[in-house]
Amino acid sequence: MTDTTQAEPDGTVARTTRDLTRAAVSGWLGTAMEFMDFQLYSLAAAIVFNKIFFPDVSPAIGLIAAMATYGVGYVARLAGALYFGRMGDRIGRKKVLFLTILLMGASTTLIGVLPPYSMIGILAPILLVVLRLVQGFGAGAEIAGATVMLAEYAPAKRRGLISSLVSLGTNSGTLAASGLWAVLLAVLSEDQLITWGWRLPFLLSFALMIFAVWLRRNLKESPVFEERPDVVDGVAMSRTEAAAAVADKAVEPERESVIEAGLRQRKGKAFFLALGLRFGQAGNSGLVQTFLVGYIATTLGADRSVPTDAIVYGSLLGFLTVPLVGLLGDRFGRRPVYLALTVLTVLLAFPVMFLIASGTTAGVTVGMIVGLNVGVLGLFSLESVTMAELFGARTRFTQLALAKEIGGILATAIGPVVAATLTAVTGSWWPIAAMLVGYSLITLVSVVLAPESRGRDLVRLEDAI
C-alpha cells in the first residue's frame, strides 16, 4: 500500500495511509479480542458454568446464576468507562487502549486456570466473579476507545465504512469464540468438556493479547485529539501548538474538567440520545448472542451445537452486513438507514422467535441468523460512527464510553437475567420477542429525535445537539 498522506479540510493533523491502516487493524483487533473474551465467557456461562461453578442447584437456577456472573462484568465496565474515558480525554486515546488490552487479556487467561466448585467450594464462583470484574473494568473503555480512534482517523466521506471495523471486530470475536465452542462441543464428550475442555478457549486468548499489545505500542495518537483546541494564557490553540507554548513558557494550559464541560452541554441531549441508540443493539445482543444459546439448549432441549453453529453462520454473514450498512450510512446518512433497520427489527421479532421456539435445527438457525444480522450487527455498524459524531472532541471518549456501558448494564447485562426469569415463570418464548421489540422501539425513538451527523467536523468541542 502506498504511504500517502491523508489530509482533511477540517484541519486535522495529517496521517499517512500506513498510519490509518495500523489504526484500523488495531481497532479491529482490540474489539475482536474484547468480544471474543466476552463471548467465550457468555457461551461458557450458558453451556457449562452452571455445572462447574453452581453444581448444587437445579438447572434453571444454575442458568440464572451463571447469567448473573455474566452480568456483573457490566457493572465493572461502567467503572472502567468512567476511569479510562476520563483518562482518554485527558492524556490521549493511545495510552488508554494499551492499558485496556492488558487488563482484558490477563483476566481472560486466568479464568482458564480457575479450579472448579468441586475442588475449592464457594471460593470458585467468587474467584470467577472477581476475574469477571477485572475483565469488565478493562473492557469498559476498549470498544469506546477503538470507536473514537477509528472515527477520528477516518476521512469524513468514509467514516461510516472505516468505523464499521469496530463492528467487524466484535463480529470476528464472536465468530472466533463461537467457532471454538462449536469445535469443543463437536469433538469432546460431556465429561471432557466439563473436566478440562472449557479451559482451552480462555487459555488460547493469551496469544492474541500479546499480538494486540505489540501492535498498539506502535500506534500513533488520534489526529483529532492532537488538534483539539486548548487554552494557554487565554489564547485558544491546538494541542500541538499548546504543547509547544507550554514548553517555551513553562505554563500549564487551562482546561475544563470533564464534569464542567459536561455541564456546559445542552442538558446532555446528545448523551441521552446515544444511550437510546445503544439500547436496541445492546439489548438485542444480550438476548440473541447470550441468553438464547442457553435457552435453546436447556429449555427447548435442542443439541447445544445448534445455537452455537447458528451464531457462527450468522457471524460469517455479518462480514457482508456490517460494511454494507457502513457504506449505506456514508451514502444516504445515518438516520435513514437506522430507521429502516430498527423498524425491520420490530417487525421481525415475533416471527424470528417463533422460528427459534420451534426447536428444529432449521428454525433455530434461520431465526438466529436473521436476528443477529438485522437487530445486532446492522445496528452496531451504525451505532459506532453515529455515537462518535454526536459528541464533541473535549469529552467524546468519556461520554461515548459511559453511554455504551450504561446501556450495556440496563440492556445487555440485565436482559438475559430478566429473560431467564420471565421464560421460567411463563413457560413461553413470547417475553423474549416482547423484549426485542421494546429495546428496538427505544432506539427508534432516539433515531427520530437525533440530528443527522454524517460528515460532522469531529474537532469541534460541542456536541451535535
Q: Provide the whole-model pTM.
A: 0.79
Report which residue type is found at 93.
Answer: R
Distance (Å, rounded) from C-alpha 413 to C-alpha 54?
19
pLDDT digits (tens, 9 = 90+) for 400-450: 999 988 888 888 778 888 998 899 899 999 999 999 999 999 999 999 999
Residue 147, pLDDT > 80, answer yes
Residue 8 lies in a domain: no
Reported as a pLDDT band with limits 50, 70 and 90, residue 122 is confident
409 CB burial (10 A radius; 0-12, 13-18, 19+): middle
Residue 79 lies in a domain: yes
User: Which one is predicted more confidently, 293 or 336?
Assistant: 336
User: Which one is predicted more confidently, 104 or 339?
Assistant: 339
Task: Report pLDDT for 391.
Answer: 94
User: Which one is predicted more confidently, 228 or 169?
Assistant: 169
Instruction: Give the mean pLDDT of 4-23.
Output: 60
Is there a contact between 348 and 283 (Cβ–Cβ < 8 Å)? no
If you search the block for the grid coordinates 463437536, which residue do you land on? Answer: 186
Q: Which H or E run contains 335? A: helix 334-357
Is there a contact between 97 and 145 (Cβ–Cβ < 8 Å)? yes
Instruction: Give the mean pLDDT of 280-309.
Output: 86
Residue 286 lies in a domain: yes
Q: Which H or E run contains 229? A: strand 229-232
Task: Report pLDDT for 369.
Answer: 95
Residue 174 lies in a domain: yes
Q: Any bridge partners for residue 16, and if so which? A: 5
Distance (Å, rounded) from C-alpha 464 to C-alpha 451?
7
pLDDT digits (tens, 9 = 90+) for 150-164: 899 888 899 999 998
Is there a contact between 39 and 170 (Cβ–Cβ < 8 Å)? no
Task: Report pLDDT for 365.
Answer: 94
> Which range, 59-63, 217-221, 313-317, has the best average confidence (pLDDT)?
313-317
Sequence-distant (6+) residues with CB within 8 A of 2 are 17
Residue 237 lies in a domain: yes
User: Which one is predicted more confidently, 166 or 390?
Assistant: 390
Distance (Å, rounded) from C-alpha 273 to C-alpha 356?
32
The bridge status of strand 5-6 relative to strand 15-16 is antiparallel
Residue 457, pLDDT > 80, answer yes
Reported as a pLDDT band with limits 50, 70 and 90, residue 346 is very high
Task: Report pLDDT for 323.
Answer: 94
Is there a contact between 326 and 338 (Cβ–Cβ < 8 Å)? no
If you search the block for the grid coordinates 495511509, which residue do you land on? Answer: 17
Residue 443 lies in a domain: yes
Report which residue type is found at 26.
Answer: S
Range name among 151-155, 171-175, 269-273, 353-357 with the lowest pLDDT average? 171-175
Residue 361 lies in a domain: yes
Instruction: Give the mean pLDDT of 175-182.
Output: 80
Distance (Å, rounded) from C-alpha 398 to C-alpha 26?
20
Helix 59-91 / helix 414-426 crossing angle, nearest 10 deg: 160
pLDDT digits (tens, 9 = 90+) for 29-67: 877 887 787 777 777 776 777 677 766 655 666 556 665
Task: Report pLDDT for 267.
Answer: 52
pLDDT digits (tens, 9 = 90+) for 227-264: 876 544 444 455 555 555 545 554 444 444 444 444 44
Instruction: Give the mean pLDDT of 181-186.
Output: 82
Reported as a pLDDT band with limits 50, 70 and 90, residue 4 is very low
pLDDT digits (tens, 9 = 90+) for 63-109: 566 656 666 777 788 889 999 998 988 888 888 888 888 888 888 88
Q: What percent of the chain has pLDDT over 90?
A: 31
| Average pLDDT across the chain, whole number | 81
- Domain housing 418: 16-449
Ramachandran sector of residue 267 (left: φ over 0; alpha: ψ -120 to 50; beta: rest): left
pLDDT digits (tens, 9 = 90+) for 348-364: 999 999 999 998 999 99
Residue 37: CATH number of its domain:
1.20.1250.20
Q: Any bridge partners for residue 237, and if so which? A: 230
Task: Report pLDDT for 67.
Answer: 59
Domain count within the chain: 1
Report which residue type is found at 205.
Answer: S
Distance (Å, rounded) from C-alpha 109 to C-alpha 105?
6
Sequence-distant (6+) residues with CB within 8 A of 442 are 276, 279, 280
Residue closest to 401 by CA, chosen among 46, 149, 107: 149
Distance (Å, rounded) from C-alpha 75 to C-alpha 413?
8
What is the CB-side half-sphere exposure of residue 45 using CA atoms within 13 A? 31
